[in-house]
Structure 1
Amino acid sequence: MKEYKICTSCVMDTTDSMITFDEYGVCDHCNTFLEDIKPNWYTDERGLDELKRTIEAIKKEGAGKDFDCIIGMSGGVDSSYLLYLAVEKLGLRPLVFHVDAGWNSQQAVNNIEVMVDKLNLDLFTEVIDWEEMKDLQRAFFKSGVPHVDTPQDHSFFATMYKFANKYKIKHILTGANYSTECIRNPKEWMYFQSDSIQIRDIHKKFGRRPIKNFPLTSILWHKIYLPYFKNIKVVTPLNNMPYIKQEAVELLKSKFGWQEYPQKHFESRFTRFYESYWLPEKFGYDVRKVQYASLILTGQMTREEALESLKAKPYDEENIHHDFEFVANKLDMSVEELRECFNAKNKTYKDYKNQESIYSLGAKLMRRLGLAKGGKR
């Protein structure tokens, strides 16, 4: 077994089995950020000038239309702040696009409603076929892989891409950002959610009903065909300006009555259960390490603060059994069935058909062309 070691700069450690350290004990995640992302990430006038040109192109393309772009809205801090920014600071006219996969927390519902209402925007909600979503999520639990959130995440971006293509919308704005996400989850923790080959294979082995309505996409369709043949662009404005998470939270709370979540991604009750309990307790993967490492590297948290926070469990120990029962019941599983999945042998994405080689080749090509930063493994 690999000797335990933790980075001397952030809080990533050997629970990431592929982690490496330099002679100073600094991990490869930190070095990738310092060598590849930070020198090429501009939040000063250079970034703002680039964003200004992009916004002008969006407005020109959207002239005379009901809206000039779409923004995927989860109710989380990044997408909520982006929506405020797009309307009040950038002068855009977005259609707010929400995908309901059946797991919205009441906080998320409230946050979406107050943002849309106070910004006087239109909200389009796509509801995923619940029977198919339920079947896929059960299949992923039974497969033994850690990335059981894949069906939900896949449905989010697949639905939005298909909507943009159908209605000829050329710009999709997302809240993705280096400021809070410069460290990526290790592939063994969260494999690529867009790998439809893996989704189909796991469904074939453990699913009960055919996939008819669930939105499936492919890496070639949304990474090659849509951007280069249909000219549909994904824009990440938060990367072109200073973005401090806590400042964004305070602004949203004071201006809109927005409600803060205990942890990133907790707008979904499924993701809350999966990230706070299932991953750390079954696999030993604590995604807070990734989230805190990003904040440490971008100066929003100290390493000491992160280490102190990591001492506490990521879930409520007194009430986790209620969450366990809730997830089991919602998926039409008995608590015993879900417990059997929890106790079963752990598997990885490599135990099922996958497109890892295509992703790796594509990532190398994108970095070589200067179209992507980081993600060296």
Structure 2
Amino acid sequence: MKYCTRCVYPEVAVNLSLDEEGVCSSCRSFEEFEALTPDFWAQRRKRFERIVDMILKNRNGGDFDCLIPVSGGKDSYYQTHIMATEFGLKPLLMTYHGNNYLPVADYNRDRMRHVFDADHIIYGPSVDVIKKLNRICFKKMGDMNWQAHCGIYTTPIQIAVKFNIPLIIWGETAWDLSGMHGPDDFVEFSARVRHEHSVRGYEWYDMLDDPEDPLTERDMNWAKYPTDEEIINVGVRGLYIGNYFKWDPNAHAKMAHEKYGWKMPSRPFERTYRNISNLDDRYENGIHDLLKFIKFGYGRASDHASKDIRTGYMDRETGVEMVRKYDDVVSDDLYYWLDYVEMREEEFWEIADRFRDPRVWRKDSMGNWVKDNLWD
């Protein structure tokens, strides 16, 4: 397995490619963004203002200026700060609740309507449905957290349609992970992006065929994407503010903490060194990420170290140490989840091993799974 010579990403990372110098597309895209001047971002802000003004002038009624999908994380605070505090708009905050919040994340999420002039809707399926989907999707695609991806990228569009809100404000674009897009691409949210990337090509009706965990169409109402006609009638557009404002997660955390009292967890995560990212989901830095490691041989520490190497918060040598220390850790939340869905650990590993990428993993003479490591 080959790794980027600048960051710590392997070539199998989603949508990533390595050039002739061994540098990954994400690092190359970051170079483009890093070369942009303060004047460039000032012009981008003006462009954003013009787009927002045009959308709001052409809207057909409605009580809110925009909808912001939020988890209560540092980036949620940054997005809402831009729209509510700097632009003075009246947003509707929308949270999909997948029944997996950590206590500090509950606090940060609920604090948002105390510190911003914004109404807040929290919407989630029944816990029984969520547990069934955890089991179904783990067996079907090796991702127990599919319900969260689906909910995050479906329920806000449903609410925008119901409340006649034409503008949805998302955060960063995909370039941050894979380098898919450059500064001039102006990517917008779409049904295609949701279907191909967020929900892995599956839809609500694909979840109705499991004999052990039966679900009905009514159970999956929250997962139904609005029709093209409904979206066009409202004029819903989803803008990524990462196209218009310089994106720096570490700076977002500092601002959210100092200005709005946003809190970090009191104890570190087991599978990464960062304590500012993915606080809303107890599994995102844990078992969900463990499954990514089982499949592709890299984890959340690789994601975080690669980003921090690019932005200058960490050198590559330290990044390698972070990957060595954290990427293969089996965190305690695995056992929390096994109890949650009533599954034996032996069954978990039997199913998880089916999803190992043969480009990455092989068995040694003792029958153990091994792979080529960054530090070998």
Q: Fold conserved (TM > 0.5)?
A: yes
Distance 1:129 1:203, change over 3 A: same
SS of 2:23 mapped into structure 1: coil
Which of the residues 342, 345, 361 maps onto 2:349?
342
Q: Distance in 1 between matches of 2:313 and 2:43?
A: 22
1:200-251 superposed Cα distances (whole Å, 9 cap, x missing partner): 4465246512232322245xx67x6566564200022233122322222111
Cα deviation, residue 135, structure 1: 0.6
Aligned-partner residue type, residue 157 of structure 1 = Y
Question: Could you tell me which residue of structure 2 aligns to residue 269 of structure 1?
Answer: 282
Greater Cα shift, 256-265 or 196-205: 196-205
Q: Distance in 2 between matches of 1:243 and 1:20?
A: 22
The number of residues matched between the two structures is 330
Aligned to 1:136: 133
Change (3 A) 1:105 1:303: same
1:180 touches 1:291 (CA, 8 Å); kept in 2? Answer: no
Pairing 1:218-237 to 2, within 5 Å after superposition: 230-237=234-241
Match of 1:174 in 2: 170
TM-score (norm 2): 0.75
Output the amino acid matched with 1:66: D
Q: Which residue of 2 aligns with 1:84?
A: 81
State the secondary structure of the residue aligned to 1:289: helix
**Contact 1:77 / 1:248 at 8 angstroms: preserved in 2?**
yes
Q: How far 1:134 moved relative to its partner?
A: 1.2
Task: State how far apart, in whole Å, the 1-side matches of 2:99 and 2:107 are.
Answer: 15
Amino acid across the alignment from 1:285: Y
Percent sequence identity is: 20
Greater fraction of residues in helix:
1
SS in 1 for 2:5: coil
* 1:304-319 mapped onto 2 (5 Å cutoff): 304-314=317-327
Tell me which residue corresponds to 1:71: 68
C-alpha contact 1:8 1:25 (8 A) present in aligned 2: yes
How big is the alpha-carbon RMSD for the aligned residues of Structure 1 and Structure 2?
A: 3.5
Q: 1:144-163 alignment to 2 at 5 Å?
A: 145-163=141-159
Bigger mean CA offset, 225-234 vs 240-249: 225-234
2:2 counterpart of 1:8: no
Report what 1:187 is aligned to.
none
Match of 2:301 among 288, 310, 320: 288
Structure 1 contact 104–268 (Cα < 8 Å) conserved: yes
CA deviation after TM superposition for structure 1 residue 137, in Å: 1.0
Amino acid at match of 1:114: R
Query: How does 1:1-377 map onto structure 2 within 5 Å?
Result: 4-16=1-13, 20-31=17-28, 44-60=41-57, 65-143=62-140, 145-177=141-173, 180-181=176-177, 183=179, 192-195=197-200, 197=202, 200-201=205-206, 203-205=208-210, 208-211=213-216, 212-214=218-220, 215-217=222-224, 230-260=234-264, 262=275, 264-281=277-294, 284-299=297-312, 301-314=314-327, 320-321=331-332, 323-331=333-341, 333-334=342-343, 336=344, 338-344=345-351, 345-347=353-355
Preserved CA contact (<8 Å) 2:170 2:238? yes
Report if aligned partners of 1:12, 1:290 keep a CA contact under 8 Å in 2.
yes
Secondary structure at the residue paired with 2:92? Answer: strand
Aligned mates of 1:79, 1:288 — CA distance in 2: 21
Structure 2 residue aligned with 1:355: none
AA at the equivalent of 2:10: D
Partner of 2:188: none
Q: Deviations over 1:133-162 (max 9, x none)?
A: 21111112223x333322211012211111
Where 1:329 maps in the other structure, the secondary structure is helix
| Cα distance, 1:74 vs structure 2 | 0.3
AA of the residue aligned to 1:8: T
Cα contact 1:147–1:191 (8 A) shared by 2: no
- Report the TM-score, using the length of structure 1 for normalisation: 0.74
More deviation, 202-211/71-80: 202-211
Alpha-carbon shift at residue 51 of structure 1 (Å): 0.9
CA distance in 1, matches of 2:25, 2:288: 23
Measured in 2, the distance between the counterparts of 1:286 and 1:244 equals 21
Q: Deviations over 1:48-98 (max 9, x none)?
A: 121111232354357975321111110111112111221111111101111
Deviation readout 1:267-324 (Å, 9 max, x if unpaired): 111323234433325652313323433444455544334223223215876xx34x22
1-structure distance, mates of 2:94, 2:80 = 11
Question: Any conservation in 1 of the 2:26–2:177 contact (CA below 8 Å)?
Answer: no
Aligned partner of residue 326 in structure 2, secondary structure: coil
Does structure 1 conserve the Cα–Cα contact (< 8 Å) formed by 2:84 and 2:117? no
- Structure-2 separation of matches of 1:316 and 1:192: 26
